Chain A
Amino acid sequence: MSPVAAAASEDRSVEAATVARWLAHETRAREVLVTRLERLPGGAIQENWALDVTIDAGPWSGSHEWLLRTNARSSVAASLTRTQEFAVLRAAHAHGVVVPQPLFLCSDANVTGSEFFIMKRVAGVAAGHRLTREAELVPDADALAQELGANLARLHAIVPPQPALDRVLAPPKPDYALSTVREYRAFLDTLADTYPALEWALRWCEIHAPTDAPVALIHRDYRTGNYMVDAGRLAGVLDWEFAGWGDPREDIGWFTARCWRFARADLEAGGIGRLEPFLRGYERASGRRMTAGDLDYWQVMAHVRWAVIALQQARRHMCGGQRSLELALTGRIVHELEYEALAIIEKAAR
């Protein structure tokens, strides 16, 4: 657990009795008994609580293993609110994307002190360092890679207009790639130092920006570490706090980028499998082709994006009053991300 998360858990708590009372109303039960309410490790921006309940009477009568997701104290402005995330999760679930089923939303911050939602708790392993090292967790890597590709295609089948989403999400940006370049540059301009390699990668992304601009619901953190694998199968995609309208190819670049392959840099599909079955799964389910040029482009963008996030983390340590070894080390990966982005640009030029 990071020091940030540890600090957050100390000054916040979710009261079992409050949740039970609220749930009794939501589930039209006679009584709700909370048998477990326990903060799960990880999550500096969001808190996840294991929530076990026994419900007496009503449509949800019986015992359930759920998960309560709420804001941590140190929230970051860039991510979605729980109300927005719940709407995204609902849309994804309705379109057959493998996610923990969203159940109940409480937008009223007065109930527990912060808005929250409840979803089904999915079993399995998400940790990237384990999924890419322990072969027994992924007995059929090609099948999992293909499943992850097809699953992403189902998400990208959600295109505007979607009234339920349009109410809560920012409208799609025209020229998504170019507006992303502008956004990253504006951030770099706020920093004390300058970064020539990132600057060149952004210039390259500007010059090579795609001429077509497909728009779909994208996850923006679809990568190993953010999905659960149970018995070798995809059990649920987690952490939807960065989702929004955008170019679907960004998710593919992010998923396949070298920086998210953990222990297996040689396995292009998120360190768990080969690229070919992942793209086959995606292309079959979406009818969209991802060219080698698209892949290079969005992988460069992925490394720049991760570098921008790493610089934000480094600043929390350097000047945000959150001194932390982990945040400091995250800042030092910027060089590696620059190095990888340059290698892809070099390869693309040949």
Chain B
Amino acid sequence: MSDISDAADLLATAREALAHELLPLLPKERRYVGLMIGNVIGIAIRELQAGAAAMAGEAERTAALLAVGGIPPGRDTEPGAGAPRELRRALCAAIRAGRFDEPAASAALMGHLTRTAADWVAISNPKALRSS
């Protein structure tokens, strides 16, 4: 517990104010915009809380998948933020080249992709996640 609000708490407080103090006052034809703003704030809060971990997890799993396939992960042109993007790019090239066509490789790839997509859906629209 902190003494003052962090970014996520500020956004959550703003969303409360939007929902309770502004939305009821909006004319019908502007309500959709109000709802979209509420939705956007929700995504931003969840991305602040879970975005970095999702990125790091994806990068780590991608590096492992590429290492198993003996695929060079590409040049790390931009240190830090550049690395996950470079890994993703190398993975895409390997997929297109057919390096994950064999059942064992494609099962490992599917596991990774599904986990990654689920992590981002949990941020963008958690209601779309299936329990299984």
Q: Which residues of A contact B (CB under 8 A)?
A: 185, 193-197, 199-200, 202-203, 207, 325-326, 328-329, 332-333, 335-336, 338-339, 342-343, 345-346, 349
Contacts and interface: CB of A to CB of B under 8 A. Distances in A.
Contacts of A332: 43, 124-125
Contact of A203 (B89, B100, B120): B100
B5 to A, nearest CB: 24
Given A335-B120, A336-B124, 4 more contacts: A196-B116, A335-B121, A336-B128, A343-B114
B96 A196 contact: no
Given A194-B92, A336-B121, A339-B118, A200 B128 contact: no
Interface of B: 33, 36-37, 39-40, 43, 62, 85, 88-89, 91-92, 95-96, 98, 100-101, 109-110, 113-114, 116-118, 120-121, 123-125, 128-130
A339 to B, nearest CB: 4
Given A194-B88, A203-B101, A343-B130, A333 B114 contact: no
A194 B113 contact: no
B124 A199 contact: no
User: Interface centre among B39, B95, B110, by most A CB within 10 Å?
Assistant: B95
A206 to B, nearest CB: 9
10 contacts: A194-B85, A196-B88, A200-B95, A203-B98, A203-B100, A329-B40, A332-B43, A335-B120, A338-B113, A339-B118
B15 to A, nearest CB: 15
Contacts of A196: 62, 88, 91-92, 95, 113, 116
A339 B95 CA distance: 17
